[in-house]
Amino acid sequence: MKLLTDAFGFRAYLNVETPLEEQSVAVWNAQIRVEGMIVGSELGPLQTSALGAVAMDVLSRPEASRLGLTARPAASDEQRQACHSGRMGMSSPARQ
């Protein structure tokens, strides 16, 4: 994955419940060329989880080894996955 430092884009979604709840994201580079587009129903939960993982990493103490996580059931898998990709390992009593 390429990190774009001078990128801009948008995320679009309907503000009503639909069967698929699809969202679209488009990203352009500094030369105003499209770098990527994605459409799917997982974008919202993944974005929220990624933001949570970054906050966890930035705000936690360096010696921290445990994390307490509270999330609604629909978001718990994404939250767990985002935390696994961070510096801390996790265990979940619900998954054992």
For residues 16-33, average pLDDT? 82
Specify whether the CB–CB gap between 15 and 44 falls below 8 A.
Answer: no
More confident site: 76 or 8: 8
The answer to whether residue 59 scores a pLDDT higher than 80 is yes
What's this model's pTM, rounded to 2 decimal places? 0.49
For residues 10-37, average pLDDT? 84
* Dihedral sign of CA atoms 13, 17, 21, 22 in order: negative
